[in-house]
Chains A and B, each alone.
Chain A
Amino acid sequence: MKIIGLIITIITGAFLVYAAIDFPAWSDPNSPASTYLSPYFIENSMKDTSVPNYVTSLLADYRGFDTMFETTVIFTAGLVCFILLRISGGKEPETSHYRHVLTGVTVTLKKGHKIPESEDFERIDDLWTPPDLIIKTSCRLMIPFIQLFGLYVIAHGHSSPGGGFQGGVILGASIILLAISHDLRTALEKMREKVVAILCPIGVSIYAGTGTLCLLLGVNFLDYSALASVLHVDPIAARSHGIFMVEIGVGIAVMTTMIWIYNNISSAGKYNQGL
C-alpha cells in the first residue's frame, strides 16, 4: 500500500508540476486571476456599498449566497458532532464523585443520589488533577480582553481586517480557553449547552432572515439596498448596514459552532470535566 501510494503521489505531483509551468509567475499583476472579475470588485466596492474593506463587501454582498451556505455548512458540522457524540454518549455514569473544596475529601455517590447544592462541594471525575493556580489566574485575566478584541474584530470588519468569521472564532476561542484552563464544567456554567445549541441556528437565521427581509421588501434575496426604507438611510449606506447585520449573524454562528464542537469532542459527548 505504501509503494502504491507513493507512485500515485509522484504521478499526481508530476502532473501538477507540468500544469504549473504554464501558470503566471508569482506576484504578476496581469495574471488571469487578477484581470477579469477582481478589478470590478476593487473599483466599485466603495460606490456600491461604501465599505472600504473589499474583502468584507465581497464576502457579504457580491458573494452573499456563497457565504450564507458556508455558514450553513458550519452549522451542519456542529450538529453532526452533536448527533454523533452527545446523543449516543450522553449517559450518566453509575457513580458520581464530589470533592470537598476545603479539606480535599472525595465523596462517591451512587446513581440517583445527589448532594445538596452548596459552594463547598465540586463535581469531579475519576481522573482528577488539581488545577494550576498560575494558568487559571492568567487565563482569567486574559479572557475578557480576548472577548473584547473579538467584538472589535466583528464591529470593525468594514474598515479594517476582520469580520464575522474571524471575530466569531476569537470569541469561541475565549470560551474554549476557559474550558482548557479550568475545566469543561466551568465553561458550561458560563455558556450552557442549550444556549449554544439555540444561538447557533439563530446566527444562521439572522443571515437568512436579512435576505428574506430584502425579499419581502420587493427586491432580490440578499439585496440589502431594500433596507433603505426600513433604516431611513440612502441605499448605499443600507448595503453597508446590511453587511453588518449579516456579519453579526456569521459571528454568532461561528462562535457557537466552535464551542459546540469543542464541548462534544473534548468530553466524547459526556460533558464531564473535559480534557
Chain B
Amino acid sequence: MSELIPTIIAKYNYWIYITLMMIGLYAMIAKNNLVKKIVGMNIFQTAIILYYVSIGVKKGATIPISTGGHGAAHEAVHAADYLNPLPHVLMLTAIVVGVATLGVALALCLRIYSRYNTLEEDEILAQIRKK
C-alpha cells in the first residue's frame, strides 16, 4: 500500500487521460443523440491529445525552441534541455484535422436531420425499418 500511492501520483497524467477517454467512449456507445455522440468523439480526441503532449514532457526542460536563436548554429545542443518535439508535431496536425472531421460529422448530422427530422438514433432506426 505504501508503494501504491507514490505510483499513482507519479503517473497522474495517465489516469486523467484514461478517465477522459472512457467518458468519450461511453458517450459514443451509449448516448442516443447523434450530436452527443460527436461530443463524445471530441472528448476522446482531447484525451489522446493530452496523452501525447504529456509523454513529451521532461523534467527541467524548456519548450522545444533553440534558446540560442539563429546565430547559434554551431553550439552543442543537449537534448535533455528541450521537451520532446515529436508529440507536439503529431498533435499540432491532429487538432486541426480533428476540427475538420468535426465539420464533416456535423454536416452529416445536418443531412440526416433534413431527411428524418430527428437526431435521435432509435427514431431514425424506426423510420428506416418502417420502409
- Tell me, rounded to whole Å, the shortest Cβ–Cβ distance linking B19 to chain A: 8
Place the interface of chain A in its size category.
35 or more
**Does A102 interact with chain B (Cβ within 8 Å)?**
no
**Does B39 interact with chain A (Cβ within 8 Å)?**
no
Q: How many residues of B contact A (CB 8 A)?
A: 60
B26 near A33: Cβ-Cβ < 8 Å: no
- Tell me, rounded to whole Å, the shortest Cβ–Cβ distance linking B5 to chain A: 13
Q: Which residues of B contact A (CB under 8 A)?
A: 7, 10-15, 18-19, 21-22, 25-26, 29-30, 54-61, 63-66, 68-70, 72-74, 77-80, 82, 84-89, 92-93, 95-97, 99-101, 103-104, 106-108, 110-111, 114
B103 near A261: Cβ-Cβ < 8 Å: yes
Question: Using a CB-CB cutoff of 8 Å, which residues 207-261 of chain A contact chain B?
Answer: 236, 254, 257-258, 261
A268 — which chain B residues lie within 8 A by C-beta? 110, 114
A264 — which chain B residues lie within 8 A by C-beta? 103, 107
A78 near B103: Cβ-Cβ < 8 Å: yes
A160 — which chain B residues lie within 8 A by C-beta? 65
Q: Which residues of A contact B (CB under 8 A)?
A: 1-2, 4-6, 8-10, 12-13, 16-17, 20-21, 23-29, 31, 33-34, 37-39, 41-43, 45-47, 50, 52-55, 58-59, 63, 66-67, 70, 73-74, 77-78, 80-81, 84-85, 88-89, 159-161, 163, 165-166, 168-169, 236, 254, 257-258, 261-262, 264-265, 268-269
B65 — which chain A residues lie within 8 A by C-beta? 52-55, 159-161
- Tell me, rounded to whole Å, the shortest Cβ–Cβ distance linking B62 to chain A: 11
